[in-house]
């Protein structure tokens, strides 16, 4: 069990490419931190720096009570689960899990006890322990990879997109297993993913990375309710948030999407930003279909996606060019070309500065 | 190919049979010649069917030797050949594994330069550098020894290159997982890399063993003592050994014996050999 503290961590590759531009975060003991972002944002690099597989150019990394910047991966008391599992193909499952312990020089009985314990936690049978990795299914290999991490009894677990090689159904199942496992073992974990659903469901806190910068750090609900930037707003939530250019009136009471009626701004308005051009963000689930409401805005439908539980309606407000997605619950009989009265819930508007792309309210 | 054209089938079978005959006929003649008494081999027409003296000839070739060979058979030559072929094959594999390991997994100055230096030696087989190599071996006092027979042939660009390609297909995560497990470089090499290239090693062993066994020019050059002769050069010596008509039955028996070990290696290691050259799953 240990805290992981990153202070001013930077990474510059020998070819002068700056991968990480300064990350500060304290991962509490037992916390599950998820690093999330699109490909190439530096999330894997950051994880590999914590693991010791990449050198740290600048800054200080502390695991437990020790600064580990210059320690070998095996000396950092960590365990890592790789994207393609990285199981040794020529060793049985048992030997795969025992290999690290053997190198540590533990006695045979201790190794056996630890492997058996991990196998029990992961519901691997004795018969499966004698098999080779290629004789296992994807989900079982994933379990073995986690088993190899568990037997080390590390103070930190590192996961590098461990579920991305699994099919959709198994991914949901393993996601739940990882969450349960982490909660039961209470081991500090850092998890890298590009999948925002995985991030939202697994993490106590999320760190959204974009091109080597930390966009926002917070709980999943904070990120959903108050995204700090356009990037986070667009990244978190599925289907993605709708954006439209808009203008706040002089008093800061209402907001107008170009060429449309004014919408009231919730909770006291934004007097300090009166008269400003902004980008307005509205989540698809915060748009309602209300017949006959006075403040409804007409929306022209172009496309409808039926998901069974929800119906996604794509279209745009009146003459506006910006695409708009509305999420309606249940099965709706809506066709392209229809005009729907849509009401925007005032409390769920997100307003961003078009230049800095940061949140205004 | 799914086709139903009888003429094509007949034609392709005729071609295949012809191919087999071309390869197999000399071996058959060799076998037939090895089973007749000496005198029969000097009469025309040459026999096409085996005679009854196979085991006598085997005994002569292995133990007694032909007339003019001081009563020594080729048995010890077989052992010399075996020792040389094993030393070459094992030595080549060991050296190439290590050099490929260094080139793929370590970042040292002039890494690519050294790799190309090794690669360029492909253009310098022993036949090309035979005089300087002889000079070196002679100065080191390794003439007429197993070391002299094998060491100059051990350095191998082909095997280094092949292992380099094998190591490059092993995912980086394997190294990273081993580092997290606390394995140092040599431990990783021994516990992970070697078992993972097992089939490639076996395939290369087959090729290199045959290469070593069939060496002719080099052993001919550096051995002068008869007890260091190898069987492949021994056959040639037999033709000139005595000032008399060659004893074809014994010579053919020796040739047959010389073919045997490479054939055995191929047969017994066939499955590994094919796997090693074709298997891609890591």
**pLDDT (tens digit per residue) in A301-327:** 888 999 888 999 998 887 666 788 999
User: Which residue of B182, B183, B196 is in closest CB contact with A90?
Assistant: B196
- CA distances from residue A145 to A82, A159, A235, B90 in whole angstroms, order as listed: 8, 10, 29, 35
Residue-wise pLDDT for B15-60, tens only, equals 999 999 999 999 898 888 888 887 777 777 878 888 888 888 888 8
B170 to chain A nearest CA, in Å? 10
The mean pLDDT of A51-79, rounded to a whole number, is 91
pLDDT for the residue B34: 86
Residue-wise pLDDT for A203-256, tens only, equals 999 999 998 899 999 999 999 999 999 999 999 988 889 988 888 887 778 888
How does B202-239 read in b/e, with b if 16+ C-beta sit within 10 Å?
bbbbbbbbbbbbebeebbebbbeeeebbbbbbbbeebe
pLDDT band at residue A200 under the 50/70/90 scheme: very high
The mean pLDDT of A67-94, rounded to a whole number, is 91
pLDDT for the residue A253: 80
pLDDT for the residue B282: 46
User: Which residue of A53, A88, A148 is in closest CB contact with B179?
Assistant: A53
**For residue B70, is pLDDT > 70?**
no
The mean pLDDT of B150-166, rounded to a whole number, is 88
Helix axis angle, B248-268 relative to B231-241, nearest 10°? 170
- Considering only CB atoms, which chain A residues are within 8 Å of B180? 51, 53, 73-74, 78-80, 100
Contact with chain A for residue B169, Cβ under 8 A:
no
Check B192 against A103: CB less than 8 A apart: no
Give percent above pLDDT 70 in chain B. 93
Helices (H), B140-216: 146-150, 157-169, 172-180, 185-188, 194-196, 198-213
Structure tokens at A260: 């449309």
Contact with chain A for residue B196, Cβ under 8 A:
yes
pLDDT for the residue A47: 94
Which is higher by pLDDT, B239 or A342? Answer: A342
Dihedral sign from CA coordinates of A103, A109, A113, A119: positive
**For residue B199, is pLDDT > 80?**
yes
DSSP conformational letter for A336 = T
Residue-wise pLDDT for A104-134, tens only, equals 999 999 999 999 999 998 888 899 999 999 8
Domains and CATH numbers, chain B: 57-282 (1.10.3720.10)
**For residue A81, is pLDDT > 80?**
yes
pLDDT band at residue B246 under the 50/70/90 scheme: confident
pTM value is 0.81
pLDDT band at residue A343 under the 50/70/90 scheme: confident
Mean pLDDT, chain A, whole residue set: 88
Does the predicted interface ipTM exceed a cut of 0.85? Answer: no
């Amino acid at each position: 069990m240990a805290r992981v503290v990153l202070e001013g961590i930077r990474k510059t590759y020998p070819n002068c490419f700056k991968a990480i531009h300064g990350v500060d975060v304290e991962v509490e003991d037992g916390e599950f931190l998820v690093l999330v972002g699109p490909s190439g944002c530096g999330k894997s690099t950051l994880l590999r720096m914590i693991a010791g597989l990449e050198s740290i150019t600048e800054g200080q990394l502390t695991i437990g009570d020790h600064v580990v910047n210059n320690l070998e991966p095996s000396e950092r008391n960590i365990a890592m689960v790789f994207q393609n599992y990285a199981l040794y193909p020529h060793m049985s499952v048992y030997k795969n899990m025992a290999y690290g312990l053997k190198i540590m020089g533990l006695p045979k009985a201790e190794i056996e006890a630890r492997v058996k314990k991990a196998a029990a936690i992961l519901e691997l049978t004795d018969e499966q322990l004698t098999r080779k990795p290629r004789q296992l299914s994807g989900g079982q290999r994933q379990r073995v990879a986690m088993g190899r991490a568990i037997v080390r009894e590390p103070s930190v677990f590192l996961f590098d997109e461990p579920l991305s090689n699994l099919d959709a159904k198994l991914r949901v199942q393993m996601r739940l297993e990882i969450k349960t496992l982490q909660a039961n073992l209470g081991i500090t974990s850092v998890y890298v993913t590009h999948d925002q659903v995985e991030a939202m469901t697994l993490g106590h806190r999320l760190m959204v990375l974009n091109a080597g910068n930390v966009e926002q750090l917070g709980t999943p609900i904070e990120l959903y309710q108050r995204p700090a930037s356009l990037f986070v707003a667009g990244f978190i939530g599925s289907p993605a948030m709708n954006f439209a250019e808009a203008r706040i009136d002089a008093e800061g009471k209402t907001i107008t999407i170009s060429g449309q009626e004014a919408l009231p701004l919730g909770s006291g308005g934004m007097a300090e930003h009166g008269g400003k051009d902004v980008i307005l963000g509205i989540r698809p689930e915060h748009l309602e279909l209300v017949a006959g409401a006075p403040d409804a805005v007409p929306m022209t439908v172009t496309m409808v996606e039926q998901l069974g539980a929800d119906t996604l309606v794509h279209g745009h407000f009146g003459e506006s060019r910006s695409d708009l997605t509305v999420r309606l619950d249940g099965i709706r009989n809506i066709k392209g070309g229809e005009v729907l009265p849509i009401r925007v819930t005032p409390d769920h508007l997100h307003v961003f500065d078009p230049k800095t792309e940061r949140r205004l309210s | 190919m799914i086709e139903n054209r009888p003429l094509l089938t007949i034609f392709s079978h005729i071609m295949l049979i012809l191919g087999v005959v071309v390869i197999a006929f000399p071996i058959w003649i060799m076998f037939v010649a090895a089973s007749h008494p000496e005198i029969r081999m000097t009469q025309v027409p040459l026999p096409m069917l085996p005679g009854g003296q196979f085991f006598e000839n085997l005994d002569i070739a292995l133990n007694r030797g032909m007339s003019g060979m001081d009563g020594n058979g080729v048995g010890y030559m077989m052992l010399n050949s075996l020792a040389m072929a094993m030393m070459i094959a094992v030595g080549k594999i060991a050296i190439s594994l290590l050099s490929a390991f260094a080139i793929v997994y370590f970042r040292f100055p002039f890494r690519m330069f050294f790799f190309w230096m090794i690669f360029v030696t492909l253009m310098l087989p022993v036949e090309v550098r035979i005089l300087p190599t002889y000079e070196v071996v002679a100065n080191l006092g390794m003439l007429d020894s197993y070391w002299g027979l094998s060491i100059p042939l051990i350095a191998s660009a082909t095997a280094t290159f092949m292992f380099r390609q094998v190591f490059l297909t092993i995912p980086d995560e394997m190294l990273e997982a081993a580092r997290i497990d606390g394995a140092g470089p040599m431990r990783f090499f021994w516990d992970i890399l070697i078992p993972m290239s097992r089939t490639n090693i076996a395939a290369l062993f087959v090729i290199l063993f045959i290469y070593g066994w069939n060496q002719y020019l080099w052993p001919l050059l550096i051995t002068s003592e008869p007890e260091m002769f190898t069987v492949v050069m021994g056959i040639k010596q037999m033709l000139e050994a005595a000032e008399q008509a060659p004893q074809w039955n014994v010579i053919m028996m020796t040739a047959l014996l010389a073919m045997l070990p490479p054939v055995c290696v191929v047969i017994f290691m066939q499955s590994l050999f094919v796997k090693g050259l074709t298997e891609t799953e890591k």
